[in-house]
Amino acid sequence: MYSIVSTAIIHGIQSVPISVEADVSDGLPVFEMVGFLASEVQEAKERVRTALKNCGFALPPKHITINFTPANIRKSGSGFDLPVAVAVLTAFGYIRQEMVREYFVAGEVGLNGKVQPVNGILPMVAEAKERGMKKCMVPWENAGEAALVSDMQVFAVKNLADAVNILNGNGEYFDTPYNIEEMQTGRILDFADVSGQVLVKRACETAVSGMHNLLFVGPPGAGKTMIAERIPGILPSLNTKERMELSKIYSVCGLLEHKRGLMQERPFRAPHHTITPQGLAGGGAVPKPGEISLAHKGILFLDELTEFQRETLEILRQPMEEKKICIARLNASYEYPADFMLVAAMNPCKCGYYPDMQRCTCTSAAIDRYLRKVSRPLLDRIDICVEVPQVRFRDLYNTGKSEKSEEIRARVVRTQEIQKMRYRGENFCFNSHIPSSRIFEYCKLDKKQEIYMEQMYDKLNLTARTYHKILRVARTLADMDESEQIKMSHLNEALCYRNIDKKFWEGMD
């Protein structure tokens, strides 16, 4: 007897439909599985056979063949256990085949027949809905996640007996027993807590308004980390499409809270400087997104930038330009979204006090070695570099006079709306994303400004990439002033955000 069950695997963050076929025939009592399978999928054979026996499903001595299609895609993960069990039970007549065809099925099965949760349920169920399926059967712990997909009946199972009852028409679909709710917003750190640092706050607002990458350089205790941690409070809210895309990434990593709704807040990821290149970019034996993908549509904060391994930092170069990361493996290539805003912080030298030569204890050679840990190509990809000075004594007592995050956020939202209106119909929506081929179309200068910028180009020894970034920042500053034309004041402020580059890294290759 023949049966077929619909399931899926995760490739990157996308779901790829897979069919599990089962055929039972006379012959030697053999249980075999074919279809380009990873070792953990091959092991499902023993898990399923033992689980069926322990749950009281007697299987006659028959030749059982399980085939996974399409055969050219490598099948990995433990989510095939439940589809295999359902396919076998259907082939032996425990379940009606006409019922099974209506369901998407995924889940891991223990030796006692208990169904265990798996990662990636959200993108798999969403893809099943796109194929026209209306019902899905998933582990009980994954039911809340699956229920986030609208117009999909979710049937949650705790064990194989539940699966058989549901597929024979004796079960009820999942009715959100633990009240799926939107993730509650925790306490947002407020810029009002930051004393002084008016120019640094201005740089933060500019960076967020155009989604520009940002670097803080300053001595210990100046407030670099404190300021960076407050940047999420001035980011606009996620839209519905972004919430779903981000939730899929976290679902694949097993980080989506099952008892909550779609992600509501933009991520703020702050990996430790000991992170490996694989941890930052993603990958592994079973590839998963790394920190740069977990920061998608949010902030990737690298504190103590110079303490990271150089090879780890160099990984950032491709995703900072392309907004995605590609991981190549022997049998496949995986692509993960990585549209993040980089915020980095560093000391200007090992002791942290350069260029204050009265306090700095580093030699010139030591300072040079320290700064060279940040390569020129990576530095060129950072739009705004700002020096964070020590807070003045009198600013410490000016409490309650600092601007609140909600006030800054309102201006950021307004500025981003200007950009979205300008770039409607384009495949980008922020000034930082303007392609180099279109830069002079959207960042127009008059003749006087062109002559001035030519002088600055030579004086500051700018690269073409750096010059384009200055124009993008100037365009953002003009939008913040609700000015259609970039003015000389906008160009000068954008150039100021590169002065620190000349101050610390001049002459570095």
Q: Which of 74, 109, 121, 83 minimizes the C-alpha distance to 254?
A: 121
Spatial distance between the Cα atoms of 203 and 212, rounded to a whole number of angstroms: 10
pTM of the predicted structure, to 2 decimals: 0.91
The residue with greater pLDDT, 80 or 284, is 80
**pLDDT score for 437:** 94
pLDDT band at 247 (very low <50, low <70, confident <90, very high): very high
- From residue 155, how far is each of 138, 147, 164, 177, 263 by CA, in Å? 6, 9, 12, 12, 23
Spatial distance between the Cα atoms of 85 and 160, rounded to a whole number of angstroms: 8
> Which runs of E-coded beta strand occur in 111-204?
115-116, 135-139, 153-157
Spatial distance between the Cα atoms of 292 and 323, rounded to a whole number of angstroms: 10
The residue with greater pLDDT, 263 or 179, is 263
Q: Which of 381, 339, 389, 349 minimizes the C-alpha distance to 201?
A: 389
Average pLDDT, the chain: 91
Mapping DSSP onto H, E and C, the string for 307-347 reads HCCHHHHHCCHHHHHHCEEEEECCCCEEEEECCCEEEEEEC
**Radius of gyration of the chain from its Cα atoms, rounded to whole angstroms:** 28
Give the count of alpha carbons within 13 A of 160, CB side only.
Answer: 29
49 touches 14 (CB < 8 A): no
pLDDT band at 204 (very low <50, low <70, confident <90, very high): very high
Spatial distance between the Cα atoms of 458 and 171, rounded to a whole number of angstroms: 74
Spatial distance between the Cα atoms of 186 and 39, rounded to a whole number of angstroms: 42
The structural domains of the chain, ordered by start, are: 2-167 (3.30.230.10), 191-505 (3.40.50.300)
Mapping DSSP onto H, E and C, the string for 212-243 reads CCEEEECCCCCCHHHHHHCHHHHCCCCCHHHH
Tell me the per-residue pLDDT of 333-391, one tens digit each, with 9 for 90 and over: 889 999 999 999 999 999 999 988 889 999 999 999 999 999 989 999 999 999 999 98
443 touches 474 (CB < 8 A): yes
